[in-house]
Amino acid sequence: MDSNGSRANNSSVSVTILGSGDAFASGGREQSAYIIDAPGLRILLEAGPDVLRLLKAHRIPTDSIDLLLVSHLHGDHIAGLPFLLLEYMWENPRKRPLPIIGPRKLEERTWQLVHVLYPNFDLSKPGKKANSLQIAKKLRWTVLEPEKSVRKNGLKISAIRSPHTKPDISLSLRIEIGGRMIVFSGDSGWNDELVEFARGADLFLCECTYYESSHLSFHINYPDLAAHRGKFDVGRMVLTHLGREVLNHQSDVDIELAFDGMKIEL
C-alpha cells in the first residue's frame, strides 16, 4: 500500500503488520491485525480490539477489505469486529458481501460480543431495523476446520489446529495467493507440525510471546523457537505477537522481529 492505502501494484503480494503486540499490548504495541494485499484481493487477517482505528490510521479504506480471516476467538484477535460491523452499518455501508473465514463459533461469538456492547442492536437477525438486516445479509461466514482448506477465486487457505485453546479451536493458517505462500502460526504453543505446515512458505509469521516463561504450553517462547529455527524451510521468518519478555530481550534475538507498520513485500 502507499500512504493512501491503495494497492501499490497489481502483481505483488505484500503483508502490512498493523499490530505486532500480544494480548497485553506489550511495549505499547497494537494488538493483532494484518493486511495481506494480493492482485485483486485485500485480506484483513485478525481483528484485534483497535482494528477499525488502525485501518483508518493507515488510510486503508474500510470498504477495500475483500475478506476477513481469523485464527481464533481470543479478544486480542476478534474484539474489533463489533466496531468494524458498526462501520459497515452506518459510517460506510457495506455494499458487497464480506466473506469471513475462521474457526467454528466465530459467528456466534461475534454476535455475542455485539450484543454485550450494544444490547439494543440485534444485528444477527434480519428484522425490524433496516440497517441490521443489511449488514447481516452481507456477511458470508465460512467455518475453517483443522486439516481442511477453503478455496476462493485463486486463494487457498489451509489450517491445522494449534495448541492454544480448549475446547475452542485455534488455527495456524497457510494462505496461498498470487503465487506466494504465507504461513501464520496464529497463537500457538510449540508445535512440531508447524515445521511441515510452514515448509516452502515465502513468509512465516510466527508468534513469539515469551522468552523466559518456558513452562507455558499455549504460547511459544523464543529459546524453544531458536532451538528449532534450522528445521524451518521458509523464505523469511518474522516473529510477531511479541510479549514483554521478548521485547526486553531484543538484543538476544536472532530472528527478525515484527513492528507495527512493518510492510513486507513478497
Site for Zn ion, rule CB under 5 A: 23, 74, 76, 187
Q: How far is the CB of 12 from Zn ion (least distance, A)?
A: 28
Q: CB nearer to Zn ion: give 58 or 74.
A: 74
Q: How far is the CB of 74 from Zn ion (least distance, A)?
A: 3
Q: CB nearer to Zn ion: give 37 or 76.
A: 76
Q: CB nearer to Zn ion: give 132 or 188.
A: 188
Q: How far is the CB of 22 from Zn ion (least distance, A)?
A: 6
Q: CB nearer to Zn ion: give 49 or 99.
A: 49
Q: CB nearer to Zn ion: give 79 or 89.
A: 79
Q: CB nearer to Zn ion: give 76 or 260.
A: 76
What DSSP line would sit under the chain, residue for residue? --TTS--S-SS--EEEEEE-B-TT-GGG---SEEEEEETTEEEEE---TTHHHHHHHTT--GGG--EEE-S---HHHHTTHHHHHHIIIIIS---S-EEEEESTTHHHHHHHHHHHH-TT---SS--S-HHHHHHHHHEEEEEPPTT-EEEETTEEEEEEE-TT-SSS--EEEEEEETTEEEEE--S----THHHHHTTT-SEEEEE--BSS-TT-SSS-BHHHHHHHGGG---SEEEEESB-HHHHHTGGG--SEE--TTEEEE-
Q: How far is the CB of 257 from Zn ion (least distance, A)?
A: 16
Q: How far is the CB of 136 from Zn ion (least distance, A)?
A: 27
Q: How far is the CB of 73 from Zn ion (least distance, A)?
A: 8
Round to whole Å and give the CA distance between 104 and 22. 23
- Verify cis geometry, omega within 30 degrees of 0, for the bond prior to 167: yes
Q: CB nearer to Zn ion: give 30 or 187.
A: 187
Q: How far is the CB of 119 from Zn ion (least distance, A)?
A: 26
